[in-house]
Structure 1
Amino acid sequence: MMAPLKGLDIAPPQAYPYARRGFCGLLVPYGNYAMEYEARAFLPEGFVPLTARLSEDGEDLEARLANYFDFQKLAAALKSYGSTPLLAAGVACSSTSYIIGIERELEVFRRLNELWNGRVAWTTEAVDLAFTELGTRRFTLVSPYPAGITAACIGYWERRGYSIEHVEQIEPGTGFHPIYTIPEPLTDQAVARAVARSRSAVFITGTGLATLSALGQNRDAGVPVLSANLALCWRLAMLAGLPGSSLTDWLSQSAPWRRHLP
């Protein structure tokens, strides 16, 4: 059995240079730079994310996505932080949850959290906790995925007891990755359409999707607008016990991360 990370505990952080509120681990698929960029905007100042890269193996897209949640690979990625005093760690990949399903996902993270003191978060867990705090089981979905993964996403959330009001599909990008290279105006437009139709909340799925511009343009929406990355960062701050970690604070017009919006 792997030894748990020494740093994943509830000890108060020391005032490290640049990291007066401590460190968190951020595990991302190897090309996902949007999550890294947005984490620096969303996380409170002085709470520093340290990134580990997740690799994959597989014959097709679904097999490769499923491989991100291989228990041994995730455990090895967490162990790579060594003695770094992490207050929490987050696995930033939502599409894998949709592909492997709820039961397998929960088993993987149950095992990880047994080893690392319950301090490992993941995207879909964070989103579910956020909507629970908001008191809604309905949302309009904004998806950057191919049709098959969007369908798996819908099925996943319906099995979790949610009703999907409407789906806004974003056309894929044309660069090195179909999601990471989606131009921001396409996301902005899709989120604006979702806000106009929603009667409950809007959820932007996809941790590799650039969402800061869309969040900025819809800051006065009449419904909550939640992105996958915002939810995971909120969960990391909550696990770390940082002040101001209620979702009401995070979604308010005065939330500190809004200063970083375009």
Structure 2
Amino acid sequence: MTAIGFLYPGHSAEDDYPRIEMMLAAPDVRLPLVHTDIGTDAHRVDALLEMGSEDRLAAGVEELRLAGAEAVVWACTSASFVFGLDGAHDQVRRLALHAGLPASSTSFAFAHAVRELGARRVAVAATYPSDVAELFHDFLKSAGTEVVSTRGSGIVTAAEVGTWGRAEVLALARAGDHPDAEAVLLPDTALHTAAYLTDLERELGKPVLTANQVTVWEGLRLAERRVRAKGLGVLFGG
């Protein structure tokens, strides 16, 4: 049995994780999830820095350890890339020390997944306000990924993002696509996407990476598990 633990801020699209667990072609994989204190629900730099603070993440680690987690992932993009590349590295280093386990975050999951696909140029279709979306652009660039376009949607709260359904998600991806992009990234773990990955890739005709999808993939990578899954996109061999 392989258990990957996730620290998830608040309550928005956490139901993507049991959905993905069911979709994985690996009945021996479990994805236990612990909610962290979101603090102020705002895609705003000061609020995101507090959301991703060491104390907030450390508070959920013991529960994941008791659940048998072999690795832990901070299941949040904005409250990791907002620290910049070096700060995000320090964030996961401290998380690993608290957990005594391999650790990562959704921001690094995107960078690693882009490399896995061999994509040289990507487009970002974000729910965030434009200034926060640009920080993700900067993070990816620092991690060695060329970003050909970045589109923010101006949504301030995770609560609002969590209400979006298939139509809104497809519209976001279409609006954020770029003809030069070899993959499109949707970076918000508050956004439900697990049920729509096949539709997204069919609609755009290219790989699509979404936050909860890459977060699970990153956890499996840390645990050295290669799992295929129909319906979870090219990243999972779909």
Q: How many residues align?
A: 230
In structure 1, what is the equivalent of residue 7 of structure 2?
A: 27
- Mark the runs of 5 or more structure 2 residues left unpaired by the alignment: none
Alignment of 1:242-253 (within 5 A): 242-244=225-227, 251=234
Shift of 1:105: 1.5
Aligned: 1:226 with 2:204: no
**Residues in 2 aligned to 1:244 and 1:224: alpha-carbon distance in whole angstroms:** 17
Partner in structure 1 of residue 20 of structure 2: 42
Question: CA 1:140–1:176 in 2, change beyond 3 Å: closer, same or farther?
Answer: closer
One-letter amino acid of the counterpart of residue 78, structure 1: V
Q: Give 1:205's match in structure 2, choosing from 183, 187, 194.
A: 187
Amino acid across the alignment from 1:52:
V
Structure 1 residue 113: deviation in Å? Answer: 2.0
Give 1:237 deviation, angstroms. 1.7
- Aligned-residue sequence identity (percent) comes to 20
- What's the C-alpha RMSD, in Å, of the aligned pairs? 3.0
Structure-to-structure mapping, 1:45-194, within 5 angstroms: 45-46=26-27, 47-57=29-39, 61-170=44-153, 172=155, 177-194=159-176
CA shift, 1:68, in A, is 2.2
- The residue identity in structure 1 corresponding to 2:17 is A
Which protein shows a greater Rg? 1
SS of 2:86's partner is helix
Question: Is the 2:148–2:178 contact (alpha carbons within 8 Å) kept by the matching residues of 1?
Answer: no
List runs of 5+ in structure 1 lacking aligned partners. Answer: 1-20, 256-262
Amino acid in the other structure paired with 1:150: A
Determine if contact 2:80/2:105 at 8 Å carries over to the other structure.
no
Matching residue of 1:217:
199
Give the deviation of 1:172 after TM superposition: 3.5
Q: 1:227 and 1:253, CA in 2 relative to 1: closer, same or farther beyond 3 A?
A: closer
Tell me the secondary structure at the aligned position of residue 19 of structure 2: helix
Supply the AA of the counterpart residue of 2:68: P
TM-score, length-scaled by structure 2:
0.82
Higher relative contact order (CA 8 A, sep 6+): 2
